[in-house]
Structure 1
Amino acid sequence: MGLFYLPPSLQGWSQGDTGATGATGVTGDTGATGATGVTGATGTRIGTRASGNFGTQTVANDANFSFVNVVVAGLTYTAPGIFTIQEDGIYEIVAIVSAASAQAGPLVINVNVDGSNVVNGVVRGTTVGQQVTAIGLARLVPGTAIQLTNNSGQAITTDSGRITIFRLS
């Protein structure tokens, strides 16, 4: 005898085929709600921005352009032409100025950050009907002042202009 005793009537017995699966039983009651998980970190708000434009104006050399129709979110604007950063981040700054039809060249614009030029645009020679564009990226901190200045070496008259400042991250 081994570990199992099999009566003589069952010796030589073999297992038959598996029968059909029975019907699904009744679903049980819903269990209790689990504990609420830990709240995740607050994401960075993207969308801090400013824009302003202007029409015809004459701007002295080394002077700021003055903007109208200014829209700000997360920045402030103080005339003449000073945008102040309120949130730390990387910003894209785009400035476009169109020369008046009688304006002789050169036409030079600078985007200044706290008084230092960070990006400029230059059109040399005849500027009649031309635009000059300055585009740049900069990491800025609260309190940083941004200005668009005329650095042409002469007063210039414009037909129009625009600046946009957008926080990327």
Structure 2
Amino acid sequence: MKRAILATWLLALILAAPVTAAEPRWPDQGWQVMPTSLAYDDLLEALREAVEAEGLFVVTEAGPTEAAENRGVTIPGNRVVGVFRNDYAVRILRLSVPAMIEAPMRFYVTENEEGSATLSWKTPTHLLEPYVDAAGEELETVGRELDTLFAAIAKRATEESE
């Protein structure tokens, strides 16, 4: 009985403890990572505005931070923002139905320990690369166009922190 109480107490402590993240190690290939001096909420808002300014749309958002908070668990800000536009969806579908699994393409906003935030994303060419052999060079062209748009969005969203 005492073991059960002790185990329950330890589990409660673990679940209630704040999560602190070590410095993330990003994959070497296919990622762009931009640490900023912006606060997490400010970077999220700047990203949303930059997406719209560059002619794309935020079509999904997901993150565990608020749900964890509702459970009494504190974790750093963490949000995945899906970005896309229908004309790109149509072009990709015409070239490769399987490649559409990669849409919407996503930005990732993470809060750093000192309160700043990082903007990262897998490049569209990296995401579409597995489908190019079957779909042809036009899919690679779409990926490069999206790379340019994603870089412009990131530049616009982070320019306040430069």
For the aligned pair, the TM-score class normalised by the smaller chain equals under 0.3
User: Normalization by structure 2: what TM-score?
Assistant: 0.24
> Whose helix proportion is higher, 1 or 2?
2
Report the structure number with the largest CA radius of gyration.
1
> Whose strand proportion is higher, 1 or 2?
1
